[in-house]
Amino acid sequence: MLSWIRKNLSPALIFFFILVIQTNAQQKPNIVLIYLDDLGYGDVSAYGVGTLQTPNMDRLANGGLRFTNGYASSATCTPSRYALLTGTYPWRNQDAKILPGTAPLIIDTAQMTLPKMLKEQGYETAVIGKWHLGLGTGFVDWNQEISPSPNHVGFDHSHILAATQDRVPTVYIENGRVVNLDPKDPIQVDYDKNFDGEPTAISNPELLTMKWHHGHNNSIVNGIPRIGYMKGGDSAKWSDVDMADHFLEKGKAYIHEKAKSDKPFFLFFPMQQPHVPRTPHPRFEGKSGMGPRGDVILEADWVIGEMLKTLEEEGVLENTLIIFSSDNGPVLNDGYYDDAVEKLGDHTPAGPFRGGKYSLYEAGTRVPFVTYWKGIIQHGVSDALVTQIDLLASLAALVGSEEIGPDSQNLLEVFMGKSQKGRDSFVLEAYTKTALRAGDWVMIPPYPGPAVEKNVNIEMGNSPDYQLYNLKEDPGQKTNLAQSNPEKLEEMKKKYQEIRGD
Ligand code: NG6
Ligand code: CA
């Protein structure tokens, strides 16, 4: 046989065959991206700052690589998700801001995305959870197939909530179709005006089981007042307290099915906790002693544990890279009276950082960030500067693609724990304002607006003056060095302008 091969095939051809055999043998890992909503740096006990205990998040953080300088691109949801999936700074896209439930899809269907890149490399792809990147192209008819949807930007399968748990429509959408919709009770959604005769939090406060604090006084669903007006679609409405179980069941079913496939899979699992309204299943009610915010974090932690168990049961945990992070920093009162402030106790959701969700200060964007791959990534802590924007180029490098995305950097070696050399710099975004992190420094340009957003009680980072902080010496951003270190300030201003290009 061997001599036949030598006689009849050229050495080049033999080399080619060996290569083909080798490439097939190197199986690409599954990738599971667990992405929480408003979870703070200090909400994960492995980060060692808060008092809430999150054993399953810790299992990832302590068994994998825990980043202390890991950033969401933004201090709010939509822009962070946009950057994560496209590898593009969200401030390059004016539409990448908190979207209503009726907003059109803000990812161009021609644009490269993380799931598209993985699909090109042989992956099966799915998103199960919160979307909040818009749907359709303009007016959406929720009673027909909604297009474009996640299925048009790289996901083979999608089972989502359109925007946020506090925004209508309060229904699940699978592959562009509202689930359990009765055609005789069509859904209508409007963000400007109510439908005649429909109760709202203002007209019928007696129907409320949760009180609104600011915003959130439009349609009432399951006793909870929402943002936006909705009529019809009763049979399709989700149950808030069952949402965690619902997405878990869908996530588990996906893993069970795809673990048997010979293709690798990518599961984007964006969870709704601890975003408002915080509606823990009764199993978790009162469990944290911190009110619903703490309870839903424990619920999310349990869900993550169940997802890990499912990967183990299927025997694929060793061949699965898990990435765990959050879309922005923490907020306590985000529009409902739910005891988040009153029952916080000693817990510190923002960790050692200043600000929170919506803020240019660190707690807005510095989030829990973990890479975990059993048997491959050695456990440890990395202080390298990494951002979610870098996942596109880095995962591309992992699976043999050359896609990079405009602003994404290939930090694969860093994510795998083989290098400590992260990014040099990064322009973070908060509520359409931006600031520069470079090395140990951060520079926040002057912005008008209140220093503290009263409703949420968060320092926004607005100031008439330039702000400059050395985060290594002063992680809490207490001492503004703009006056005392003018050279550094100039250097940072220059770099910021270079990146922003304006
Ligand atoms: C704000 C909401 C807040 C939350 C946020 C989006 C009000 C007053 N506040 O406009 O409750 O829904 O949008 O959060 O309506 S995010 O995490 O999806 O960006
Ligand atoms: Ca969020």
- Ligand 2 centre from 165 Cα, in Å? 11
SS3 state of residue 108: coil
- Ligand 2 centre from 317 Cα, in Å? 28
pLDDT at residue 102, rounded to an integer: 97
Which atom in ligand 1 lies closest to the alpha carbon of residue 38? 17
Model pTM?
0.95
Give the tokens for residue 436: 């520069």
pLDDT at 9 over 70: no
241-261 burial, b for 16+ CB within 10 Å, e for fewer? bebbbbbbebbbebbeebbee
- Ligand 1 centre from 44 Cα, in Å? 22
Whole-number average pLDDT of the chain: 95
Residue of the CA atom closest to atom 11 of ligand 1: 334
pLDDT at residue 400, rounded to an integer: 96
Which atom in ligand 1 lies closest to the alpha carbon of residue 335? 11
* Probe residue for ligand 1, chosen from 35, 38, 77 as the CB with the greatest number of ligand atoms within 8 Å: 77
Residue of the CA atom closest to atom 7 of ligand 1: 215
What residues flank ion ligand 2 with Cβ within 5 A?
Answer: 37-38, 77, 327-328
SS3 state of residue 287: coil
Residue of the CA atom closest to atom 13 of ligand 1: 98
pLDDT at 482 over 50: yes
pLDDT at 5 over 80: no
pLDDT at residue 283, rounded to an integer: 98
pLDDT at residue 498, rounded to an integer: 97
pLDDT at 3 over 60: no
pLDDT at residue 44, rounded to an integer: 98
Which atom in ligand 1 lies closest to the alpha carbon of residue 214? 8
Window from 21-35, 77-91, 237-251 with minimum mean pLDDT: 21-35
Nearest to 38 by CA among 300, 272, 373, 336: 272
Per the CB < 8 A criterion, the answer to whether 136 and 148 are in contact is yes
**Smallest-distance ligand from the CA of 35:** 2
**In angstroms, rounded to a whole number, what is the distance separating the alpha carbons of residues 490 and 480?**
14
pLDDT at residue 76, rounded to an integer: 98
pLDDT tens per residue across span 277-308: 999 999 999 999 999 999 999 999 999 999 99
Average pLDDT in the 253-273 region?
A: 97
**In angstroms, rounded to a whole number, what is the distance separating the alpha carbons of residues 171 and 181?**
9
- Ligand 1 centre from 216 Cα, in Å? 9
Give the tokens for residue 414: 């860093």
pLDDT above 70: percentage of residues in the chain: 95
- Ligand 2 centre from 464 Cα, in Å? 27
pLDDT at 85 over 70: yes
Which atom in ligand 1 lies closest to the alpha carbon of residue 357? 17
pLDDT at residue 230, rounded to an integer: 98
pLDDT at 20 over 50: no
Window from 12-26, 28-42, 218-232, 460-474 with minimum mean pLDDT: 12-26
**In angstroms, rounded to a whole number, what is the distance separating the alpha carbons of residues 437 and 444?**
9
pLDDT at 11 over 90: no
- Ligand 1 centre from 15 Cα, in Å? 57
Give the tokens for residue 293: 């915010």
Fold of 427-500: Arylsulfatase, C-terminal domain (3.30.1120)
Domain ranges of the chain: 30-187+232-421, 427-500
pLDDT tens per residue across span 157-183: 999 999 999 999 999 999 999 999 999
- CB under 6 Å to ligand 1: residues? 37-38, 76-77, 98, 132, 164, 166, 214-216, 227, 275-276, 328, 334-335
Give the tokens for residue 354: 């200043």
Average pLDDT in the 489-496 region?
A: 98
pLDDT at residue 66, rounded to an integer: 98
pLDDT tens per residue across span 322-363: 999 999 999 999 999 999 999 999 999 999 999 999 999 999
**Smallest-distance ligand from the CA of 76:** 1
What is the C-alpha R_g of the chain?
A: 23
Q: Are strands 433-438 and 172-174 parallel, antiparallel or unpaired?
A: unpaired
Burial class (CB within 10 angstroms; exposed 0-12, middle 13-18, buried 19+) of 421: exposed
Task: Write down the CATH superfamily of domain 30-187+232-421.
Answer: Alkaline Phosphatase, subunit A (3.40.720.10)
pLDDT at residue 404, rounded to an integer: 84
Instruction: Give the distance, in angstroms, between the CA of residue 65 and the centroid of all CA atoms in the same chain.
Output: 18
pLDDT at residue 87, rounded to an integer: 97
Give the tokens for residue 200: 């709202």
pLDDT tens per residue across span 414-467: 999 999 999 999 999 999 999 999 999 999 999 999 999 999 999 999 999 999
